[in-house]
Amino acid sequence: MQSTGLALQQDVPLAPLTTLGVGGCAQFLVRAEQVREVEAAVRFAESRQLPLLVLGGGSNLVVADRGWPGLVLQVALEGICHYHGQGSEVFEVGAGMNWDCFVAESVSLDCGGIECLSGIPGSVGGTPVQNVGAYGQEISQTVASVLAFDRRDNCVKPLKAAECGFAYRQSIFNSSQMGRYIILRVTYELFPAARPDLRYVDLERYFAGGERRPTLLDVRMAIREIRAAKGMLITAGDPDSRSAGSFFKNPILAEAQYVELERRAAESNLQVPNYPALARQKKVSAAWLVENSGFTKGYRRGRASISTKHALAIVNRGGATAAEILALRDEIQLRVNEIWGIRLEPEPVFVGF
């Protein structure tokens, strides 16, 4: 279909465009490599009153079996522009750029601030949406601004970090202003000749007893290894990596809820794990709650299972439907709620349901 000036494809299976690999087809799909193609795609969707879904790396998505009855816009704007800022190194990166390639590039230039976010699947444009975080770093610490197409005001707009409303796995893009902005480019301010961030217990342990101070590259390689051991690195031949990463958020509890959790744990002779990285944000480990609600790693329901390497990931064991993934999600939520009185909130984005 070329009459719109867009290279529109019809009835495109979405499962292969996601890391979890479930769900049906997109009615229309367009891949935009230029800002003007993004604008044309928005116009096309609006003229036909089609719902618009913006797709990045597909690493945090659960697509419904019925697919997406509208237009899927794959943002494929590439490119990195790097320059020296005042006391920082500035990188303007296209939203479609592979995230881990950008991390590799920044580490090779000896710029710190995102090395702990190595090995996270997906694209640059997805990182501000859910304020991606791991091993003590969060994207909100290094994002300076976001360039986005504003569908409400029909123009391209720069947004400063402070306007993005960053919180744990949250921003305006997935909460108050959901659906309004299409992220085109993200500007990061990194730290030249930085000392790597080793606050997280897994990393401290990895480097304990080492003779020299680890470099940014050492940390990057360590993180990739730690993630791979947890099935959280997309690895050909590792069936546990066919997932959407963490399927649940670590719940943030109020004081009274936490006291109640400890009371219930004591009744079962259990101790709630308490790590500085979790405690700092008053978070409780969702993986621990799952494993202490009668589920084991590898627990299977149809063609969906809990990862054999990490209790927080739900894995497509091959040919699973979205309905099977959701049935396992519901079972886990129900059991955790029954036993601990805590409702786990899913982390991925559900589309087409």
Give residues in contact with ligand EPU (CB under 6 A). 134-135, 202, 230, 232, 245-246, 249-250, 273, 275, 285, 287-288, 291, 297, 310-312, 347
Active site residue 305: no
145 vs 243 by CB, closer to ligand EPU? 243
d(CA 161, CA 176): 15
Q: Is there a contact between 167 and 131 (Cβ–Cβ < 8 Å)?
A: yes
Kindly state the smallest distance separating residue 143's Cβ from ligand EPU, in Å: 17
Cα–Cα distance measured from residue 190 to residue 68, given in angstroms and rounded to the nearest whole number: 37
Query: Rounded to the nearest 5°, which phi and psi values hold at 17?
Result: -95, 5
What DSSP string describes 3-36?
TTSS--EEEEESGGGSSS----EEEEEEEESSHH
Which one, 26 or 272, has the nearer CB to ligand EPU?
Answer: 272
Minimal distance, residue 293 CB to ligand EPU, in Å: 11
State both tokens at 273.
């794990």
- 145 included as an active-site residue: no
Residues shown for the chain:
353
Closer CB to ligand EPU, residue 88 or residue 235? 235
Closer to ligand EPU by CB, 262 or 291: give it.
Answer: 291
* Residue number, nearest CB to ligand EPU: 245
169 is catalytic: yes
- Tell me how far, at minimum, the Cβ of 332 lies from ligand EPU, in Å: 13
Question: What angle is formed at CA 249 by the lines to CA 244 and CA 251, rounded to 5 degrees?
Answer: 165
Nearest to 305 by CA among 284, 285, 332: 332
Please identify which of the residues 33, 39, 260, 347 carries the catalytic annotation. Answer: 347
Closest approach of Cβ 117 to ligand EPU, in Å? 9
Residue of 169, 185, 224, 227 marked active site = 169
Catalytic residues: 169, 246, 347
